[in-house]
């Protein structure tokens, strides 16, 4: 074992170097795609821990693994006396690598609550290097000088890993790249994306235009706002952001009236303030509530009420819906980054990549017609949530967002289940239960698997005992591992979304049903944790 210590350490160092080089290449530009299982990699990449002192974190890994490899070679080439010094330096470097990897893994576990498989692989490599190196220090080796045989072994290790690593690295550089975007041709198709009176933020002559078709009553649109706000904060002066109305009347009875109300607010110069407030109060968008919100926004009450009651803005809302339908929109949220369609709440890394590509001229975008900005202004600060309403998500969504095959076609042929869809009524429905049924299931001998789809911070404040936390933004990636032979009960807070036909727990259920889970075994606890607590049932923390 001792004779193989240095070749093994060298092989591990080169493996760690490969991982760090790939991550360095990915982290060097937001436009580069990242191949990873699940969605944790993109989340970690977008976090504040992705850079240390302004330098991408993987760069430090490159320096560390390269230093360990050189120390192994220096140790093997040295005579007996200086070899101990090289060995001590090697152990010090291995210890640093182990401790840093342990700290970064702890950040993923307890701060980010997301796992990056590449980072975990690097941490495993660093741990093995530390163990092998520590083992070598504790052994009492036979005195020996430089060995020609060991030099050939080291060369063989390097050539073997290079032969495997070089083509693999080239493959990874292109894996996960987005397909070429569908092209818009002709002025008619260009004007479908944006109308002269569409609410707009940012630079009206920007190279990149981001258009969102949204429904104020859709919880997935509310979830998407976390990354929309991040996008505007980072790229507000470099892009043009356009909001288009797409109320789903078949599943959201008050969405169209809310859309009209937002345009009535726009007539008084406060569209974006209304947009923020309507999302945060989406549990109640009745006309009476909308008029109360108008007063909170300090709009002129008489003018707003007259605008809303008359239906003056209904034609503009219908025009947005017609444009979206012609573009292939069938659900919300749907985004168009220049001429690329993204369905469902997008990952922030995905938004970054497409925007950076557009800014650098890598993706076609100049054909999108530019209209004078309407109501352009800086986005208003976030509004405080109302009492009893669930807080806005504090971390970026990490949802997979399949893209459409072309404009004017059916973008939702393989739509993300995490969308509010016009075909909602036609989809297979999960079994809906309330507190009495949930209590019976919980107290049964064959207790089902309760899954809480809220954020980890909300789960920590209180949950049904024995429940598993899979936040909605991670559900698509993690749900494939759930047992199919067990009844699954999905729930959330029960406050805010109430009876909404597109709540997060329903969206999670749709993912399971789309993956072939039995409809009889997928249940949504519609009343949620709030009703569970009110019934005096146990809550764990």
Domain ranges of the chain: 2-174, 187-420, 427-534
Q: How far is CA 190 from CA 59, 137, 208, in A?
A: 42, 69, 14
Residue 49 burial (CB count, 10 A): 16
Nearest CA-CA partner of 254 in 199, 330, 317, 329: 317
Nearest CA-CA partner of 228 in 218, 219, 241: 241
Instruction: Specify the pTM.
Output: 0.60
Q: What is the pLDDT tens value at each position of the chain, 541 positions in all?
A: 556 788 999 999 999 999 999 999 888 866 576 777 555 676 687 677 888 888 889 999 999 999 999 999 888 888 777 888 888 899 999 999 999 999 999 998 888 777 888 999 999 999 999 999 998 777 765 555 566 777 888 888 888 988 998 898 888 877 655 444 444 455 566 678 999 999 999 999 999 999 999 999 888 888 889 889 999 999 989 999 999 999 988 778 889 999 999 999 999 999 999 999 999 888 789 999 999 999 999 999 999 999 999 999 999 999 999 999 888 888 899 999 987 888 888 888 888 889 998 998 764 443 333 333 333 444 444 444 343 343 333 333 333 333 333 344 445 444 455 677 766 656 667 888 889 999 999 999 888 999 999 888 889 999 999 999 998 877 877 887 888 889 999 998 875 443 444 567 887 888 888 788 888 899 999 888 988 999 999 999 8
Cα 450 versus chain centre, distance: 23
DSSP H/E element including 279: helix 271-280
Indicate the fold that domain 2-174 takes in CATH.
de novo design (two linked rop proteins) (1.20.1440)
Q: Classify 187-420 by CATH class.
A: alpha beta
Who contacts 504 (Cβ-Cβ below 8 Å, separation ≥6)?
219, 223, 453, 454, 472, 492, 497
**Whether the domain at 2-174 and the domain at 187-420 fall into the same CATH topology:** no
Determine the length of the chain. 541
Residue showing tokens 């078949």: 250
Nearest CA-CA partner of 367 in 203, 188, 245, 212: 188
Q: Cα(496)–Cα(481) distance, rounded to whole angstroms? A: 29
Indicate the fold that domain 427-534 takes in CATH.
Oxidized Rhodanese; domain 1 (3.40.250)
DSSP H/E element including 293: helix 287-296
Rounded to the nearest 5 percent, the helix, strand and coil shares of the chain are 50, 10, 40
Q: Cα(462)–Cα(474) distance, rounded to whole angstroms? A: 19
The answer to whether 403 and 178 have CB atoms below 8 angstroms apart is yes
Region for residue 487 given its phi and psi (left: phi exceeds 0; alpha: psi -120 to 50; beta: otherwise): beta
The answer to whether 354 and 363 have CB atoms below 8 angstroms apart is yes
Who contacts 520 (Cβ-Cβ below 8 Å, separation ≥6)?
431
């Amino acid at each position: 074992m001792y004779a193989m210590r240095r070749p093994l350490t060298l092989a591990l160092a080169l493996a760690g170097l490969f991982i760090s080089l790939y991550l360095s290449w990915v982290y060097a530009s937001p436009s580069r795609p990242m191949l990873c299982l699940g969605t944790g990699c993109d989340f970690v990449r977008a976090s504040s821990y992705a850079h240390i002192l302004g330098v991408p974190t993987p760069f430090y890994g490159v320096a560390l693994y390269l230093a360990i490899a050189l120390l192994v070679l220096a140790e093997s080439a040295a005579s007996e006396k200086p070899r101990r010094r090289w060995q001590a330096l090697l152990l010090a470097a291995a210890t640093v690598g182990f401790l840093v990897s342990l700290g970064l893994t702890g950040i993923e576990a307890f701060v980010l609550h997301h796992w990056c498989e590449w980072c975990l692989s690097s941490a495993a490599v660093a741990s093995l290097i530390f163990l092998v190196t520590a083992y070598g220090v504790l052994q009492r080796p036979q005195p020996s000088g430089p060995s020609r045989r060991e030099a050939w072994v080291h060369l063989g290790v390097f050539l073997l890993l290079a032969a495997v690593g070089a083509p693999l690295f080239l493959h990874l550089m292109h894996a996960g790249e987005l397909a070429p975007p569908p092209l818009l041709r002709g002025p008619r198709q260009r004007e479908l994306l944006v109308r002269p009176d569409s609410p707009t933020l940012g630079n009206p002559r920007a190279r990149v235009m981001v258009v969102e078709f949204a429904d104020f009553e859709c919880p997935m649109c509310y979830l998407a706002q976390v990354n929309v706000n991040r996008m505007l904060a980072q790229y507000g002066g470099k892009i043009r952001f356009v909001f288009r109305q797409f109320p789903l009347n078949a599943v959201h009875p008050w969405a169209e009236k809310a859309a009209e109300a937002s345009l009535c607010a726009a007539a008084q110069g406060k569209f974006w303030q209304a947009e923020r407030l309507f999302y945060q109060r989406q549990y109640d968008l009745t006309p009476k509530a909308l008029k109360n919100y108008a007063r909170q926004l300090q709009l002129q009450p008489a003018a707003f009420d007259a605008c809303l009651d008359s239906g003056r803005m209904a034609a503009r809302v219908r025009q947005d819906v017609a444009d979206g339908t012609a573009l292939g929109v069938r659900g919300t949220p749907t985004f168009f980054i220049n001429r690329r369609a993204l369905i469902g709440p997008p990952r922030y890394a995905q938004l970054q990549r497409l925007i950076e590509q557009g800014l650098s001229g890598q993706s076609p975008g100049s054909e999108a017609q530019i209209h004078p900005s309407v109501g352009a202004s800086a986005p208003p600060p976030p509004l405080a949530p109302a009492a009893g309403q669930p807080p806005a998500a504090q971390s970026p969504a990490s949802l997979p967002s399949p893209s459409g095959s072309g404009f004017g076609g059916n973008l939702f042929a393989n739509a993300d289940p995490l969308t509010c869809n016009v075909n909602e009524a036609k989809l297979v429905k999960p079994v809906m239960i309330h507190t009495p049924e949930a209590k019976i299931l919980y107290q049964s001998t064959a207790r089902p698997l309760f899954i809480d789809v809220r954020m980890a911070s909300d789960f920590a404040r209180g949950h049904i005992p024995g429940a598993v936390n899979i936040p909605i933004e991670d559900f698509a990636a993690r749900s494939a591992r759930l047992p199919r032979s067990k009844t699954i009960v999905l729930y959330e807070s029960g406050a805010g979304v109430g009876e909404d036909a597109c709540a997060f727990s329903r969206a999670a259920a749709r993912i399971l049903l789309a993956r072939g889970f039995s409809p009889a075994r997928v249940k949504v606890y519609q009343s949620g944790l709030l009703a569970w607590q009110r019934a005096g049932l146990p809550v764990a923390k």
